[in-house]
């Protein structure tokens, strides 16, 4: 008799949370922790690219950061399976979380490849990664507004998009400069690292797409 009683109380508590909006805040808090992990990863990638942190040490630290991000994503997916309502469309919330995870995964790959290739970062890499970091900060601000103050999300999403586009510009300039140098093994390695940075910017743009789609549905 106890087990059904506990289940009933648990379901009742979740229903109350859904109706009161507490579950919305809880999901957004989990997502914010996931974005924070990605931003910490971006901070570390900047430090590695600028030579402040040795690549081997950065690689070890990044593994811990990625595990934290994966844990937060798992928490969000688990939460999505139990709540009745979500602050934005359930599919878009999942897409946003997945895209943030993709950003962190590619930051991990950048640091790992920097260590494997054993080359200094190409000029422009640091500026591009700093734009990623700024974009993640703006994405966090936009996400934090979802439960209670959705006004302003579109402006912050646009600002995030601009940072994503800035990554592409830094990449294009850096590639042009790199291709003007004599081609050798290190040149090819730096090209691959620059391409990884460009992919990070693209994944950041996908975060914006998910957020914009969610806000469009919310306004209909």
Cβ-in-10-Å burial (0-12, 13-18, 19+) of 107 comes to buried
| 174 within domain boundaries | yes
pTM, full prediction = 0.88
| 12 within domain boundaries | no
| 4 within domain boundaries | no
Domain coverage including residue 41: 18-219
- Name the packing angle between helices 22-49 and 125-144 (round to 10°): 170
Helix-, strand-, coil-residue percentages of the chain, each rounded to 5: 85, 0, 15
| 38 within domain boundaries | yes
Buried b / exposed e over 157-175, threshold 16 CB at 10 Å, is bebbbebbebbbebbeebb
pLDDT tens per residue, the chain (220 residues)? 444 655 545 544 554 455 445 778 899 999 999 999 999 999 999 999 999 999 999 999 999 999 999 999 999 999 988 887 888 889 999 999 999 999 999 999 999 999 999 999 988 999 999 999 999 999 999 999 988 777 789 899 999 999 999 999 999 999 999 999 888 999 999 999 999 999 999 999 999 999 999 998 876 5
Q: Look up tokens 């081609």; give the residue.
A: 183
| 13 within domain boundaries | no
In total, how many domains does the chain have?
1
- What is the C-alpha separation between 82 and 56, in angstroms, rounded? 40
| CATH, residue 68 | 1.20.58.220
- What is the C-alpha separation between 117 and 16, in angstroms, rounded? 54
């Amino acid at each position: 008799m106890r087990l059904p009683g506990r289940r009933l109380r648990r379901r009742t508590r979740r229903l109350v949370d859904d109706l009161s909006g507490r579950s919305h805040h809880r999901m957004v808090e989990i997502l914010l922790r996931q974005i924070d992990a990605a931003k910490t990863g971006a901070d570390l990638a900047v430090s590695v690219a600028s030579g402040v942190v040795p690549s081997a040490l950065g690689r070890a630290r990044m593994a811990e950061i990625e595990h934290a991000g994966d844990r937060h994503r798992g928490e969000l997916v688990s939460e999505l399976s139990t709540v009745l309502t979500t602050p934005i469309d359930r599919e878009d919330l999942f897409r946003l979380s997945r895209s943030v995870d993709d950003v962190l995964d590619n930051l991990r790959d950048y640091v790992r490849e920097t260590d494997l290739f054993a080359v200094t970062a190409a000029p422009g890499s640091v500026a591009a990664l700093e734009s990623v970091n700024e974009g993640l900060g703006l994405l966090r601000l936009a996400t934090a507004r979802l439960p209670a103050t959705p006004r302003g999300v579109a402006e912050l999403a646009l600002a995030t998009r601009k940072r994503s586009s800035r990554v592409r510009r830094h990449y294009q300039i850096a590639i042009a400069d790199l291709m003007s140098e004599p081609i050798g093994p290190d040149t090819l390695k730096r090209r691959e690292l620059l391409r990884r940075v460009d992919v990070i910017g693209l994944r950041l743009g996908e975060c914006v797409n998910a957020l914009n789609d969610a806000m469009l549905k919310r306004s209909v």
